[in-house]
Amino acid sequence: MDRYDRQVKFEGFGKDGQQNLRNSNIMVMGAGALGTQVSELLTRMGAGKLIAVDKDIIEMTNLHRQTLYTEEDVKLMKPKVDALKEKLQQINSEVEIITLNTELAPHNILKILKEHKPDMVIDSMDHFEIRFLINEACHKLNIPWVYGAAVGSKGSVYAIDSSGPCLKCLMDTMPATGESCEINGVLPPAITQTAGIEVSEAIRFLSGKGFSKKLNTIDTFGMNYKTMNIDALKDHDCLVCGQHKYEHLEKDTFRPVQSNCGRVYTLRFDDDIFHKEISGEIIKQNKFVKFITYNGYDMTLFKDGRMNVHGLDGQDEAERLYREIDGKLSVKLTF
Ligand SMILES: [Zn+2]
């Protein structure tokens, strides 16, 4: 019997839905909590090609919500996309899995989308600003995408194509704080519910039923599930879908020093920094990442030249440290 028999028997999906899924090329942006669960479902269901994009390695604090990853992956400091591919291929070897171990930013998102030409993008990112970037990139290239976010006990999903309101129509201003930050915490079932709704929207679309055009919200602790019809919220003057102005994409400046959650900053150097001799103390390392202490700072250096530095007291201190390290690099000294 066909491995997909049970889902093909569901009338709304059927053989056509299965065939369309088999022919699909879906990019999942983020291989964290939502990304692992979305990718697992789509792999089990028999997607044709999945492209997983993520910049991080697996940490112990990920395991409570990022399904598929294991303590062994943490020990080996594996990039998420590599571990994800390994597990997904064990689940379904018929699915082609492409991995991109990179960050998504204004300087590369269009290039990545143009190169891989996904039929659909599924948002599985963990901070808010990136979603406005995805919104602009997908609108510009006319790619349908599914917005999904989960924080605390709540989750929301909204699937977007060119016919309805875009994300910008719904949320005209960027939230000043909050949803991006790790400190808010999240309950794993909120993620499972959110990921499930994202995949439901994706397979509705692939089955020819189209997106639901609803904003779906769940509260896994308050035991609420609501949908809201938001077609009427299309803003005809919207900067993105009304006027085709892409202010997030146009921030196409490479940001060498960027603030993250809490006191963590990302410093970006040329990727050859990874192979230079380091005078700080290397705590542990593999071919993807080095954990370093340097002048009292805890640093994580990735092979693409990104360095996350913990314990910085502000932009000025981060920029000073960047100049210090960059200066030593440019005169070919070690640090
Ligand atoms: Zn819009």
Share of the chain above pLDDT 90, in %: 76
Residue 84 — pLDDT band, cuts 50, 70, 90?
A: very high
CATH code of the domain made up of 257-330? 3.30.310
Q: How far is the CA of 20 from the centre of ligand 1 (A)?
A: 28
| Topology alike, domains 5-233 and 257-330 | no
As a whole number of angstroms, the distance between CA 240 and CA 236 comes to 10
CATH code of the domain made up of 5-233? 3.40.50.720
Q: What is the mean pLDDT of residues 137-150?
A: 97
Q: How far is the CA of 151 from the centre of ligand 1 (A)?
A: 24
Q: What is the mean pLDDT of residues 117-146?
A: 95
As a whole number of angstroms, the distance between CA 87 and CA 139 comes to 32
Share of the chain above pLDDT 70, in %: 93
Domain boundaries, the chain: 5-233, 257-330
229 to each of 43, 170, 215, 233, how far by Cα in Å? 30, 12, 7, 9
Chain segment 218-268, per-residue pLDDT in tens: 999 999 999 999 888 899 999 999 999 999 999 866 788 988 767 889 999
Q: How far is the CA of 323 from the centre of ligand 1 (A)?
A: 39
- What pLDDT does 1 receive? 74
- What pLDDT does 264 receive? 87
Residue 177 has pLDDT above 50, yes or no: no
Dihedral sign of CA atoms 250, 255, 259, 265 in order: positive
Q: How far is the CA of 316 from the centre of ligand 1 (A)?
A: 36
Q: How far is the CA of 330 from the centre of ligand 1 (A)?
A: 44
Chain segment 278-318, per-residue pLDDT in tens: 678 999 999 999 999 998 899 999 988 999 999 899 999 99
Q: How far is the CA of 219 from the centre of ligand 1 (A)?
A: 26
pTM, to two decimals: 0.91
Q: Find, among 311, 312, 322, 308, the residue nearest to 56 by Cα.
A: 308
Chain segment 209-227, per-residue pLDDT in tens: 999 999 999 999 999 999 9
Q: How far is the CA of 199 from the centre of ligand 1 (A)?
A: 23
Residue 275 has pLDDT above 80, yes or no: yes
| The three-state (H, E, C) secondary structure of the chain, written as one string | CCCCHHHHCCCCCHHHHHHHHHCCEEEEECCCHHHHHHHHHHHHHCCCEEEEECCCECCHHHCCCCCCCCHHHHHCCCEHHHHHHHHHHHHCCCCEEEEECCCCCCCCHHHHHHHHCCCEEEECCCCCHHHHHHHHHHHHHCCCEEEEEEEECEEEEEEECCCCCCHHHHCCCCCCCCCCCHHHCECHHHHHHHHHHHHHHHHHHHCCCCCCCEEEEEECCCCEEEEEECHHHCCCCCCCCCCCCCCCCCCCCCCCEEECCCCCEEEECCHHHHHCCCCCEEEEECCCEEEEEECCEEEEEECCCEEEEECCCCHHHHHHHHHHHHHHHHCCCCC
Q: How far is the CA of 201 from the centre of ligand 1 (A)?
A: 19
Residue 176 — pLDDT band, cuts 50, 70, 90?
A: very low
- What pLDDT does 172 receive? 61
Do residues 290 and 300 lie in contact, with contact meaning Cβ atoms separated by under 8 Å? yes
Q: How far is the CA of 172 from the centre of ligand 1 (A)?
A: 9
Assigned token pair, 283: 């705590």
Q: How far is the CA of 225 from the centre of ligand 1 (A)?
A: 25
Do residues 131 and 149 lie in contact, with contact meaning Cβ atoms separated by under 8 Å? yes
Q: How far is the CA of 164 from the centre of ligand 1 (A)?
A: 8
